[in-house]
Chain A
Amino acid sequence: MPQKSFVVETIKRNQLVEALSKGKRLDGRDLNELRKLEIKTHVIEKANGSAMVTLGNTQVLAGVKVDKGTPFPDTPDKGLLIVGAEVLPMAAAYLEAGPPDESAIELARVVDRGVRESEMIDVASLVIKEGKWVYSVFVDVNILNADGNLFDATSYAVVAALLTAKMPRFVLEGDVVKDTGERVPLPVSKIPISVTVASINNTLVLDPTEEEEAVMDARITLDTEDGGNLCAGQKGEPGYLTPEQILTAAEWSISKGKEIRQRIKEATGA
């Protein structure tokens, strides 16, 4: 994050904090209310799966590419699932082109953790020949417009793209991997839902905007899977959370996660 002028931040902070002390947010939402969420799938014909997610003014596009690949040496019996995220320089005035910085790396790794730890994709079934050939599933996300809560928007886009993806079916003929030309859905078993909560002056808000993130003290992202169990988490930003706040965030993640999962199911026909 570049340094924004302090005058602006102080004014903004005072405004935000004053509203929050009355339980109100500047955009009129409840403290645990998600912004308007829109999900459009099949937006990129050349990808195996894709989804455009709009969360308030945050807009992200995820694309899935499935190919054959070689497994990692320590998991010869598992396919590859790799989530990457790039915050495009067009996404905000303060951004510049360049290699991903630590925030972009954290974003990709936290989203990847949610998908991986929920066991959304059955990677054990993505093997063509053990130790030699497996399916590699790459999900790449481009952040097109950044207006806060990139973690959740990115996660929803990845999940929607995976749910609607069609991958090639490969067979082994002798030593050669051949594409049968068939297109089949990915082996999906669960739908992880990420919910991010920011702490501003000790008030918790769900789905923070860019303005709210600019003044937040700490952030926590918790993922749940279909059974309502927590499956991944990450606290971020240089402030603290109390144990009680963490438990509130967990409750919100479980209750809101259920609603959001239903929305994603409807949008993807899953």
Chain B
Amino acid sequence: MDENGIRTDGRRWDELRPLKIEVGVVKNADGSAQIEWGKNKIIAAVYGPKEMHPKHLELADRAVLKCRYHMAPFSVDERKNPAPSRREIEISKVIREALQPALFLEDYPRTAIQVYVEILQSDGGSRVAGITAASLALADAGINMRDLVVGCAVGKVDGKIVLDLNDTEDKEGSGDMPYAFMPNLNQVTLLQMDGLFTHDEFKEALELAKVGGLKVYKVQREALLKKYFSGGGPETSTTSAELMEEA
């Protein structure tokens, strides 16, 4: 950050990167959404409720939620081996656990609901962008939900808590905290953290993540409304500057 508190990409500490979300982009899927957030380009698709394979893993009283977070080989600077890494396996698990509290899985016994999150291009905060898109894809698939799930990361750059880290800030900053929550219920469904935070900074970071997340929620909600209530115009776009004015 420079002496005026302006970040490497020209944002202030509490500004989001440009965010664009579109619902219904994968025609074969039961639900899907594409998100462009900073340089992140991510597609989430949902199939289900469908038959559970293998059969013996189905649950008698609810659906099984399955989730795959995967990065395309060309999504990062150095080619990524397409085989799932330990990082991707962990992120698949935390994304699944971030989405599950929002779903009425008990409405779909003996079935599976499969969520795919494909990172076509990766920037800072790909898991929270993936969650934001995946929860829209689930809504688009018509799965019964308590709330949408919004992801938003906060971090620490030059000793200051800032919203929505980009790739450079993620790699060179001193802390990163991916966060996801259900905005209408104010329940946190994902929290991860690395880097040093004092107790006060931790509180501040949680608060900022929520404020940032509510801005993301606005765009997320509009994208869903646009698909279903505006006669087919599938696209919505809000820049962080516009968001700032409204906030």
Contact = CB atoms under 8 A, between A and B. Distances in A.
Contact of A240 (B93, B94, B189, B203): B189
A225 interface: yes
Contact of A238 (B97, B198, B203): B97
Contact of A236 (B94, B177, B193): B94
B202 A230 contact: yes
A241 B198 contact: no
Interface of B: 59, 61, 65, 86-87, 89-90, 92-94, 96-97, 100-101, 177, 181-182, 185-199, 202-203, 206, 210
A228 B201 CA distance: 12
Interface residues of A, number: 35
A251 B194 CA distance: 17
Contact of A117 (B59, B189, B195): B195
B196 A243 contact: no
A243 B192 contact: no
Interface string A214-252: 000000101001001111111111111111001100110
Contacts of A102: 89-90, 92-93
A135 B202 CA distance: 34
Interface of A: 3, 6, 102-103, 105-106, 108-109, 113, 116-117, 220, 222, 225, 228-243, 246-247, 250-251, 254
B196 A240 contact: no
Residue among B100, B193, B199, B202 having the largest count of chain A Cβ atoms under 10 Å: B193
Nearest to A217: B101
Contacts of A236: 93-94, 97
A222 B203 CA distance: 14
Contacts of B93: 102-103, 105-106, 236
A230 B188 contact: no
Given A246-B188, A246-B191, A237 B199 contact: no
Given A239-B101, A243-B188, A234 B193 contact: yes
Contacts, number: 99
Residue among A108, A117, A222 having the largest count of chain B Cβ atoms under 10 Å: A117
User: Top 3 A-B pairs ranked by shortest CB distance?
Assistant: A233-B193, A238-B100, A240-B187
Contacts of B92: 102
23 contacts: A102-B89, A102-B92, A105-B89, A105-B90, A109-B87, A116-B194, A117-B195, A229-B197, A229-B199, A231-B196, A231-B197, A233-B191, A234-B94, A235-B97, A235-B190, A236-B93, A239-B101, A240-B101, A241-B187, A243-B188, A250-B199, A250-B202, A254-B199
Contacts of B94: 106, 234-236
A233 B197 CA distance: 11
Contacts of A222: 193
| Chain B binding surface SS class | mixed
Nearest to B86: A105
B59 A3 contact: yes
B185 to A, nearest CB: 8
A103 B96 CA distance: 13
Contacts of A246: 188, 191, 206
Contact of A232 (B87, B100, B101, B193): B193
Nearest to B205: A230
A245 to B, nearest CB: 8
Given A229-B198, A234-B192, A243-B186, 20 more contacts: A106-B93, A109-B86, A225-B196, A228-B199, A231-B196, A231-B197, A232-B193, A233-B177, A234-B94, A236-B94, A238-B65, A239-B100, A240-B185, A240-B187, A240-B188, A241-B188, A246-B188, A250-B202, A250-B203, A254-B199
Contacts of A229: 196-199
Contacts of B65: 238
A105 B199 CA distance: 28
A229 B199 CA distance: 6
Given A3-B59, A247-B206, A241 B191 contact: yes
B194 A117 contact: yes
B193 A242 contact: no
B223 to A, nearest CB: 23
Nearest to A222: B193
A225 B202 CA distance: 14
